[in-house]
């Protein structure tokens, strides 16, 4: 028997295992609302919705951080801008006015989500075009500075609640669906999250994704062979900001409330923790990291008001000893079980 005949089945095993794991994950997410309802725990549905929304934001950041090597501390700005786009359009509709004198308000989800994506993308283009002229610590500090500038801008906008934020009385409408129902809104977020992760998978596996990975590994070498790293990094940064804006728009609908806290630098830190906790540079890592952080925060806040003191060491242990986050830990356990 040839060596190829011996090794080929084992080489196919990890790929088959990943496919089975993805199918199982999709089935679990679809069945989750019905399972928790049968168990008498309907409050878990909104919790799962939060996980999906944060997973979209973290996965978007991961495109810039994990695949592009751009450590951005300003993605909360795009997250908050997406939320405020929904809130301002809703307020404009309720006031029967025009935003900036020519933009009508709306409460239709098929209009507010693209608007949030577009506005967040425009801000990401401007911020990225300026920030990407630097690198390293300078890039981190400039993205943080831009995020804080926008944070204080929205604090000063008294017409939209200022520091107190702005209430959205009802969630945006989508056809004849009852978006006020938590289960319905969960499935809306699940579909959007599936489309976002599918898009990121295609981007990472495309020629653009390969060039981006090469730039992350050695930008000078990529420039030497005729590739312009700045343009690729800016495109990735804009796409990443658009995804964060989409997540912010969904969060505004979920909470029916927006405030400057969505733009604060601590929100950027939370998104970065989710990426690191789940696994930097992995597709499903942000989903795992978002689930772990949201669930840990929910459980620990029920135990003590000083829950950060407990959460910190837990995150530290995961980062130090899992070697690649939760995604790496799960992969190693799976490969260990399937190894001959």
How does residue 18 score in pLDDT terms, banded at 50, 70 and 90? Answer: confident
Average pLDDT for 60-66:
93
Strand-pair partners of 108: 173
Question: pLDDT digit string (tens) for 267-318?
Answer: 998 999 999 888 888 888 899 999 999 998 888 887 877 778 888 888 888 7
Reading the block at residue 209, the tokens are: 């994704």
Residue 4 has pLDDT above 70, yes or no: no
- CA angle at residue 92 from 91 to 96, to 5 degrees? 115
- Residue tagged 């830190």 (tokens): 269
- Average model confidence (pLDDT) across the chain: 87
The CA dihedral of 313, 318, 324, 329, to the nearest 10 degrees, is 180
Q: Which of 284, 282, 269, 251 is nearest to 315 (CA)?
A: 269
pLDDT for the residue numbered 340 = 37
Nearest-angstrom CA–CA distance, 322 and 340:
23
pLDDT for the residue numbered 241 = 95
Residue 20 has pLDDT above 70, yes or no: yes
The percent of residues in the chain predicted with pLDDT above 70, rounded, is 93
Nearest-angstrom CA–CA distance, 37 and 330:
28
What phi and psi, each to the nearest 5 degrees, are found at residue 171?
Answer: -70, 155
Question: pLDDT digit string (tens) for 184-198?
Answer: 999 999 999 999 999
Greatest alpha-carbon span in the chain: 77
pLDDT for the residue numbered 255 = 92
Nearest-angstrom CA–CA distance, 160 and 98:
14
39-43, 63-67, 211-215: least confidently modelled range = 39-43
Residue 339 has pLDDT above 80, yes or no: no
Residue 78 has pLDDT above 90, yes or no: yes
* HSE value, Cβ hemisphere, 13 Å, CA-based, for 210: 3
The helix (run of H) or strand (run of E) holding residue 327 is: helix 325-338
The helix (run of H) or strand (run of E) holding residue 257 is: strand 257-258
Residue 97 has pLDDT above 90, yes or no: no
The helix (run of H) or strand (run of E) holding residue 226 is: none
- Cα–chain center distance at 249: 12
Q: Which of 325, 317, 264 is nearest to 289 (CA)?
A: 325
Reading the block at residue 153, the tokens are: 């801008």
> Any residues with CB less than 8 A from the CB of 122 and at least 6 apart, and which?
none
Residue 117 has pLDDT above 70, yes or no: yes
pLDDT for the residue numbered 334 = 59
Reading the block at residue 317, the tokens are: 């242990």
pTM for the structure as a whole: 0.90
Average pLDDT for 256-268:
91
Three-state DSSP state, 99? strand
């Amino acid at each position: 028997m040839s060596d190829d005949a011996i090794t080929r089945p084992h080489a196919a095993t990890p790929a088959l295992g990943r496919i089975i794991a993805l199918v199982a994950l999709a089935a679990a997410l679809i069945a989750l609302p019905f399972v928790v309802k049968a168990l008498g725990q309907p409050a878990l549905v909104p919790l799962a919705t939060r996980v999906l929304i944060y997973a979209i934001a973290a996965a978007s950041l991961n495109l810039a951080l994990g695949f592009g090597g751009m450590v951005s501390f300003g993605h909360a700005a795009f997250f908050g801008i997406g939320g405020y786009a929904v809130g301002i359009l809703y307020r404009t509709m309720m006031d029967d006015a025009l935003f900036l004198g020519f933009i009508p308000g709306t409460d239709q989800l098929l209009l507010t989500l693209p608007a949030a994506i577009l506005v967040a993308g425009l801000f990401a283009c401007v911020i990225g075009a300026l920030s990407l002229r630097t690198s390293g610590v300078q890039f981190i500090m400039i993205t943080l500075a831009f995020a804080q500038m926008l944070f204080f801008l929205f604090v000063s906008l008294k017409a939209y609640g200022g520091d107190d934020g702005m209430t959205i009385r009802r969630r945006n409408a989508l056809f004849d669906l009852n978006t006020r129902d938590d289960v319905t809104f969960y499935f809306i977020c699940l579909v959007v999250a599936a489309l976002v992760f599918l898009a990121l998978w295609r981007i990472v596996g495309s020629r653009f994704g390969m060039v981006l990975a090469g730039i992350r590994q050695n930008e000078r070498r990529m420039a030497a062979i005729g590739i312009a790293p700045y343009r690729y990094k800016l495109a990735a940064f804009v796409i990443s900001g658009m995804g964060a804006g989409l997540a912010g728009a969904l969060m505004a609908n979920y909470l029916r409330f927006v405030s400057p806290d969505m733009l604060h630098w601590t929100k950027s830190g939370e998104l970065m923790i989710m990426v690191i906790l789940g696994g930097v540079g992995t597709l499903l890592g942000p989903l795992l990291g978002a689930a772990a952080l949201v669930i840990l925060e929910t459980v620990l806040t029920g135990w003590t008001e000083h829950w950060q003191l407990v959460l910190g060491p837990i995150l530290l242990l995961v980062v130090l000893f899992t070697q690649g986050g939760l995604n790496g830990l799960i992969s190693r356990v799976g490969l260990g079980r399937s190894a001959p």
